[in-house]
Amino acid sequence: DAGVIQSPRHEVTEMGQEVTLRCKPISGHNSLFWYRQTMMRGLELLIYFNNNVPIDDSGMPEDRFSAKMPNASFSTLKIQPSEPRDSAVYFCASSLEGSNQPQHFGDGTRLSIL
């Protein structure tokens, strides 16, 4: 079975540029999560969707960040304009709907903003 697929795996770009991260969840999973991982702050939940609808975006750091889920098999996380402090590993995860379902993570996108 295919797991959660994220692209790109690595992204290096200059400050001020727009960055788009992509995620394909596991087929049949109803919930999708975007996380950011840094040494200082650990694993932070940015936003999550249930049945393509954003449920909780309280972790989104600021208006420069936006996320969409146009259909059940695709989601994007966009940063515009990007800043050096956005450098981190961004993970997408998906799970079945319902309480206490395990989250299945992709391998992440390592983002470096110069």
Applying CB under 8 A, the residues found at the interface with another protein are 4, 31, 33, 41-43, 45, 48, 50, 55-56, 91, 93, 95, 97, 99-108
State the nearest-atom distance from the C-beta of 15 to another protein, in Å. 25
User: Which CB sits closer to another protein, 92 or 113?
Assistant: 92
User: What is the nearest approach in angstroms of another protein to the Cβ of residue 70?
Assistant: 20
C-alpha distances out from residue 80 to 13, 16, 21, 86, 111, Å? 12, 7, 12, 11, 13
| Nearest distance in Å: CB 8, another protein | 14
CB of 45 or CB of 66, closer to another protein: 45
Virtual CA dihedral for 112, 74, 54, 41, nearest 10 degrees? -30
Tell me whether residue 30 or residue 83 sits nearer to another protein (CB atom): 30
- Cα-Cα-Cα-Cα torsion 42, 47, 52, 55, nearest 10 degrees, comes to 130
Distances (CA, A) of 63 to 59, 66, 69, 81: 11, 7, 17, 10
Nearer to another protein, 47 or 79 (CB): 47
